[in-house]
Amino acid sequence: MLKIKGSDSNFSIHDILLSELCELEESFRCYITLIMDHITPSKTNKSIYRDNFLELINNKSSNRFFYLLNFNYSCISSSLNTEAQVSQATGSVIIQRGKIKYNVIEVNVHGNFNRIAIFGVDQSKVPADDPGYIFTKTYRKISNQEKLISFSLPHIKDIDEIVFFGHSLSVADYSYFQSIFDYYDIYHSNIKLTFKYSLYEGKPPELIKKECYDSIIKLIRSYGETMDNVNHGNNLVHKLLLENRLEVQLTKLKKIDISLFHSQYIKDFSVLEPITLYKQ
């Protein structure tokens, strides 16, 4: 325990680090808010967001209802064009292009810029009785339930494909993916897994592609290791390929230039005040 000079309170190093983490989360939330406030309002940008989203969900499909599990801190209703509206009956965001309407229910797994941004590590790597468990995403979500929107995954009969995009597929989120794969019984069901990726500056296309494939195989093999039947777990990737239920797609998306925003942000950036919890 640490006793702060001029204070009657004792704090553990974990308390101090958690407070610092909360400060970082709030600063990051404010940063995302600035982006949403300065980049999104443009009518052109909103159209780009809409077209990119419809490209990702494969708008050629006959399915017009989608469920979005968002792992970043943006919000689809704030990003899309002015034609987007919220359905009072289902709570879904209605995106319209021409005469076609798409219903999208969005859930932000770790909060959004309007409420809270949660950072943390995967809970499977930390024992529940370890003091460091307070830094897991699971604990951070439990302790901030009042700021998060609860949700239930759609029934398996309502899902025929799970599309992944823009996610690092990092170990920190394996618990989520394992829960989703369990819920939809990926081994026995007919649900297809589609992983989409796009190219970006600063890294060769072949390296981006390789890292994408490596992450996908690592994720699925890691999930296979959690299955009761060892043989099923070992051949899961092969089974998905044989059944045409695993696909990787290069997706070309339109780019939004935020260089001017970044230049102005860096210019105006000022150091945050020290955290107030430990002031006298």
Whether 2 is in a domain gets the answer no
If asked whether residues 157 and 107 sit together in one domain, one would say no
Domain termination residue (choose one: 55, 85, 111) = 111
- Say whether pLDDT at 58 is over 60: yes
Domain count, the chain: 2
Whether 129 is in a domain gets the answer no
If asked whether residues 99 and 170 sit together in one domain, one would say no
Beta carbons within 10 angstroms of residue 54's beta carbon: 17
**pLDDT for res 271:** 45
If asked whether residues 106 and 157 sit together in one domain, one would say no
If asked whether residues 50 and 100 sit together in one domain, one would say yes
If asked whether residues 236 and 171 sit together in one domain, one would say yes
If asked whether residues 102 and 157 sit together in one domain, one would say no
Q: In what order do the strands lie in the sheet with 100-108?
A: 65-70, 100-108, 93-97, 85-86
Categorize the per-residue pLDDT at 280 as very low, low, confident or very high, splitting at 50, 70 and 90: very low
Whether 107 is in a domain gets the answer yes
If asked whether residues 242 and 179 sit together in one domain, one would say yes
**Tens-place pLDDT, residues 210-237:** 999 999 999 999 999 988 888 888 899 9
If asked whether residues 76 and 162 sit together in one domain, one would say no
Whether 101 is in a domain gets the answer yes
Whether 56 is in a domain gets the answer yes
If asked whether residues 85 and 162 sit together in one domain, one would say no
- Say whether pLDDT at 7 is over 70: no
If asked whether residues 78 and 165 sit together in one domain, one would say no
Whether 148 is in a domain gets the answer no
Q: Contact at 8 Å (CB) between 241 and 192?
A: no
**pLDDT for res 262:** 72
If asked whether residues 160 and 71 sit together in one domain, one would say no
Query: What domain range is 100 assigned to?
Result: 42-111
If asked whether residues 160 and 253 sit together in one domain, one would say yes
Whether 250 is in a domain gets the answer yes
d(CA 85, CA 94): 5
**Tens-place pLDDT, residues 165-224:** 988 888 888 888 999 999 999 999 999 999 999 998 889 999 999 999 999 999 999 999
Whether 15 is in a domain gets the answer no
Categorize the per-residue pLDDT at 278 as very low, low, confident or very high, splitting at 50, 70 and 90: very low
Range scoring the smallest mean pLDDT among 83-87, 126-130, 272-276:
272-276
